[in-house]
Amino acid sequence: MRTLYIGQHSLAAKGASVIRDADHRSVYLLIGKWGRRQDALSLYQISGDLLAELRQTTLGLRPQFDIYFHNQKVGTLSRHVGFLNEMIYVSSLRWLVVGNFNSGNYRIYHGTSLIMESHPAGDQRLLSVTRQEDEPVCICVAATLDHWAHRRNLVKTLFPNRWRLAPGGGTADFKGLRAHFVWDRISDRIKH
């Protein structure tokens, strides 16, 4: 199992990100941008060879990304709208991503076999990948999850009181918790 290191939020940033190994040697370079249909992130070896690409195919609440490895499509990653997004399925690869995507603590499995683990460590993110040949695709999946977590945190910063959990009185019931939309603030803004 090899451990790779990357800056905590550099996966979500536009531009270039360097992925390093445990000896702090540069191993990969991730370049690209997000946000528009057909935007792509490209993962290169430091020598300049293109290894993997992540292409955004749809926009909206459920964006979809195709993962290419050596110019062949190997999987599709899509976001599912739900109360708790703690599990994502990567089709074609049959990988299951489980964990807390906002904190960066998650694991990728193929069946019961562990493919990758991700953990934050200060200002770095640790990606421990079981097989070295899976590293490019794992980095693409990690970049997508980091992008979604970064966007979610940005929305929470811009609209801090938009959603709240209330132990009583609400509209959507989920295992004893009631989540409801804070309409009073919105209606006050509309009235004035």
Residue-wise burial string across 74-101, b where 16 or more C-beta atoms lie within 10 A, e elsewhere: bbebbbeeeeebeebebeebebebebeb
Mean pLDDT estimate for the chain: 79
> Residue 146: which of 59, 70, 41 has the closest Cα?
41
| pLDDT tens string 49-104 | 999 999 988 877 778 899 999 999 999 998 766 555 578 899 999 999 998 888 88
pLDDT of residue 22 exceeding 60, the answer is yes
Q: How far is CA 18 from CA 119, 143, 179, in A?
A: 17, 12, 40
pLDDT of residue 188 exceeding 60: no
Is the pLDDT at 109 greater than 60? The verdict is yes
Residue 12: CB atoms within 10 Å: 20
Q: Which pLDDT score is estimated for 38?
A: 72
For residue range 151-163, list pLDDT tens digits in order: 554 444 545 555 4
Place of tokens 């195709």: 66
CA angle 127, 115, 130 (to 5 degrees): 70
Q: Which of 2, 28, 192 is nearest to 115 (CA)?
A: 2
Identify whether the C-beta of residue 30 lies closer than 8 Å to the C-beta of residue 11: yes
Question: Distance between CA 15 and CA 149 in Å, rounded?
Answer: 18
CATH of domain 2-158: 2.40.160.200
pTM higher than the cut 0.85: no
Query: Kindly report the CA angle at 52 between 113 and 42, in degrees rounded to 5?
Result: 135
- Domain locations in the chain as residue ranges: 2-158, 161-192
Residue 177 pLDDT level (bands cut at 50, 70, 90): very low
Q: In which element (H, E) is residue 152 found?
A: helix 135-158
